[in-house]
Amino acid sequence: MVKIRGLYQKRGWWYYSRMRQGIRKVIALETRDEQEAVRKALELVDAPELALADSWEAEIKAFIRFKTDRQIFSRFTADSKSYVLKKAANWFKKPVASIKPADIQSFYEEQRKTLRESTAQTYVLALRSFFRWCVEHRKIVAKNPTASIDMGRWDYGSKTKYCRPEIRDALLAGWRNIPANVMPPDQARMIGFVFHAGFESGLRRNEIVEARPNWFNLQGRTVHVHSTTTFRPKDREDRTIPLTDVFIDFLKEYPLNGTWCIAPEVQRGKSRYRYDFIRPFEIYVEHMGKELKQDLSWVTPHIMRHTFGSLLAIAGESLAKISEWMGDDPRVTDRHYLHFKEGDKAINRLHSFTVSQPQAQPLSEPHSPQHKSVSSMQCIDHNQKVSADSLVSEV
């Protein structure tokens, strides 16, 4: 065994003790295995002294400020990351510097019980970014505890739910006839805009909330999603989407006024969004489900966006255009919507050749070089027509 000063065992568990600036610090190596204890102790021998960590709340605020000051996080992303980190902090109930890989793994497994796999992994990625900052900038953690987390896999290319055209059209029109005791007229018109923005332009939930009247150019037949004083597009990329006739007719009938297209009187609520339309959205979907006599509870704001992309792909639109209009990475578009594309007719080239009789070949001597070349490798000139018999013989 390698002798390391300060390494000792107590009640079967290994510890490492060292003096820094006249203060003795004992570090639990969390192992009973001697070789593992030596390996961990060697990592700590030359490790720099760590700074003292503040509370979770203070560290989270400092992390978010670090990212936003450098324009790495948009306001929406900052709110989202802050929510995840605070949720994790409440779950850990331990100081930042004492979080171990086992704690992260347990948190991840707990989230998987109630959340989708993709969401649970997104939580871990948020923690990974936070602890990387703790290691590289704050220097309150020696090693990122998320680095060795074992996360499951999910099918990125799985088919996504979308509304069939008849369901989409019903949801686009139904708000006009919704009873006042179910939803006030002003709120119904707002829902009308929400569903047109989602189904007809593929806008994300927060893009619908932050949409401003000056985004819409009826004469130019476009909607231009761009940064404002309260909003920054995902990946900080502006994009322009053509307006459909259906959306233009709606906008002509109900002109947009105010600072924002929906709830212009709301500056900023308690929600992560400026205004959260999800409750009236759910009321409307539930009402329409009863009208259509089917369960529509699976319809969400994001389903509208997927419907936009899916129906365009089914109609044969190029994935490059769909990607541009949706503001997604082309690889993401390929993964989600490629299976909706019509079959490639190039496959019919399989039957494009015609069958003809093979030309007679002169026989050569059994052991001549010419015979050896022909018997070892049959060469086919693809510019010539070949027979089915010759292809079979080659197989």
pLDDT at 299: 95
Q: In what order do the strands lie in the sheet with 239-242?
A: 216-217, 222-225, 239-242
Residue range 198-220: average pLDDT? 95
pLDDT at 383: 43
Residue range 51-74: average pLDDT? 84
The rounded mean pLDDT for the chain is 82
Which of 148-152, 164-168, 170-174, 262-266 is the least confident region?
Answer: 148-152
The helix/strand/coil state of 17 is: strand
pLDDT at 185: 95
The DSSP annotation for 123-170 comes to HHHHHHHHHHHIIIII---SS-TTTT-------TTPPPP---HHHHHH
Q: Which helix (H) or strand (E) holds 173?
A: helix 165-173
| pLDDT over 90 (residue 49) | no
Backbone angles phi, psi at 40, to 5 degrees: -65, -40
The residue with greater pLDDT, 333 or 381, is 333
- Contact between residue 65 and residue 73 where contact means Cβ atoms under 8 Å apart: no
At residue 279 the predicted structure's pLDDT band, cuts being 50, 70 and 90, is very high
Residue 360 structure tokens? 């007679």
Backbone angles phi, psi at 272, to 5 degrees: -65, -20
Q: Which helix (H) or strand (E) holds 115?
A: none
Which of 23-32, 86-95, 130-139 is the least confident region?
Answer: 23-32
The residue with greater pLDDT, 319 or 75, is 319
Backbone angles phi, psi at 28, to 5 degrees: -75, 125
In 3D space, the residue among 196, 311, 308 whose CA is nearest the CA of residue 246 turns out to be: 196
Rounded to 5°, the CA angle 373-376-381 comes to 70
> Which residue bears the tokens 């909607």?
223
pLDDT digits (tens, 9 = 90+) for 110-156: 998 888 788 889 999 999 999 999 988 888 888 899 988 888 776 55
pLDDT digits (tens, 9 = 90+) for 187-206: 999 999 999 999 999 999 99
Distance, CA of 83 to CA of 44 (rounded, Å): 33
pLDDT at 4: 80
pLDDT digits (tens, 9 = 90+) for 323-357: 999 998 887 788 788 777 766 666 676 777 665 55
The residue with greater pLDDT, 319 or 342, is 319
At residue 377 the predicted structure's pLDDT band, cuts being 50, 70 and 90, is very low
Q: Give whole-number Cα distances, 366 to 318, 363, 374, in Å.
A: 57, 9, 11
Sign of CA dihedral 44, 50, 55, 56: negative
The residue with greater pLDDT, 393 or 76, is 76
The residue with greater pLDDT, 380 or 190, is 190
Report how far apart the first and last C-alpha atoms of the chain are (Å, whole number): 63
pTM of the model: 0.59
Residues whose CB is less than 8 angstroms from the CB of residue 142 and which lie 6 or more positions away in sequence, other chains included: 43, 44, 47, 50, 135
In 3D space, the residue among 120, 127, 307, 121 whose CA is nearest the CA of residue 199 turns out to be: 307
